[in-house]
Structure 1
């Protein structure tokens, strides 16, 4: 891993994968149940959320924030830099949890990294939930949407960052902002594409 500024979010540096990293050794040979090292790569949803939060610190200032499906921790790090009182960054990959701690320390902020799937529990004791890029799989999207609906009902504000994945719950989303960012698997020379920040709301379906 090399340390490099995050594309589109140069205020934050991250431990970043490169061709010689050999990260797949952390998960064996891609057998059933093994989690790919998604945390080591930039995802458009997390990038666009981090950019929005840094540009609009009032969104998180003085608030308790949950970074759901945190990956590298870029969104939670942005929230702390923007004045959040506390951040919990949750992911189901134990290697991601380690990476979140390393990246937070690299950026001089304190983020509580948590291992586990919070979507199967009750709404957390936070003021805002940031959801970056969790709608790429149909079953995951259904579970996350159901959880977020519970959280909205509990009075928690939710922001979603996404480049337009196939399983976005569009009926629950209202556009807030748009930024051109690069996406998962794209090199630095690849043209950036528009990705959006949404507010997640409850509606009668």
Structure 2
């Protein structure tokens, strides 16, 4: 009889620390992330796909673009939507953003972002909230609740600014690899278009996922990035950075 896997630690931070190791993404060597070496056991044990434990192709391309074009971020308030590991948020902070919010609905992602931000010596505010939730949208998990206590991450703390805690006050909205499922893609697009109408710059990274509405974006750059190696068969994936006009 096969022994059951050991129980997960009691807190999200402890789970992330126990199930991942520090690594440097091959395409973004400026950033350190905690990554997992396996996915399916972790998926089964946590009850959801651990998006926070890998550097996905769209996020790698977007992070590379952000680091290569720091003028896009410099001095601006930035939101990284569906942040996952926090890779793109960390890249934005390293590129000189005035403030960065990393939003996700998964407490494990929140813990991973906080740990990764600390490892990279940058300040990122973690917001555990479903920003896509609305009565007329098909995707939603929780009402807006504000940032979790203690999730302002990284040692570079300073005076609080409203844009550090209000995603609707941000000047740049970033989203990496979020168009893999139709209901979420539709809700993501609705959110991104609202952000664009209020004047935010909207930039996404995507490795040719099925539900990206390409006709609504302007292509900026294309990258050949490493696949995750666990959930994606390709060793190298083509990932494009798009801007919402």
Q: Same fold (TM over 0.5)?
A: yes
Q: Alpha-carbon deviation of 1:178?
A: 1.1
Aligned CA distance change for structure 1 residues 26 and 88 (closer, same or farther; 3 Å): farther
What's the CA shift string for 1:50-88, capped at 9, x where partnerless? 000111111101110000000000000000101000000
Preserved CA contact (<8 Å) 1:123 1:151: no
What's the CA shift string for 1:156-182, capped at 9, x where partnerless? 110010011000011211100111112
After TM superposition, the structure 1 = structure 2 runs for residues 76-95 of structure 1, keeping only pairs within 5 Å, are 76-95=89-108
Structure 1, unaligned runs of 5 or more: 28-33
Aligned length: 195
Aligned CA distance change for structure 1 residues 137 and 128 (closer, same or farther; 3 Å): same
Q: Alpha-carbon deviation of 1:120?
A: 2.9
Q: Alpha-carbon deviation of 1:12?
A: 0.4
TM-score, normalising length from structure 1? 0.88
If each structure's strand is expressed as a fraction of its own residues, which one has the higher value?
Answer: 1
Instruction: Find the aligned partners of 2:72 and 2:49 in 1 and give their Cα distance.
Output: 31
Instruction: Find the aligned partners of 2:40 and 2:211 in 1 and give their Cα distance.
Output: 31
Q: Alpha-carbon deviation of 1:123?
A: 6.7
Instruction: Find the aligned partners of 1:120 and 1:21 in 2 and give their Cα distance.
Output: 28
Q: Alpha-carbon deviation of 1:151?
A: 1.0
**2:146 paired residue number:** none
Instruction: Find the aligned partners of 1:93 and 1:198 in 2 and give their Cα distance.
Output: 26
Structure 2, unaligned runs of 5 or more: 1-19, 135-165
- RMSD (Å) for aligned C-alpha atoms: 2.2
**1:49 paired residue number:** 62
**2:185 paired residue number:** 141
Q: Alpha-carbon deviation of 1:183?
A: 2.7
TM-score, normalising length from structure 2? 0.74
Instruction: Find the aligned partners of 1:185 and 1:141 in 2 and give their Cα distance.
Output: 24
Aligned CA distance change for structure 1 residues 123 and 104 (closer, same or farther; 3 Å): closer
- Looking at CA atoms only, which structure, 1 or 2, has the larger radius of gyration? 2
SS of residue paired to 2:29: strand
Q: Alpha-carbon deviation of 1:24?
A: 3.3
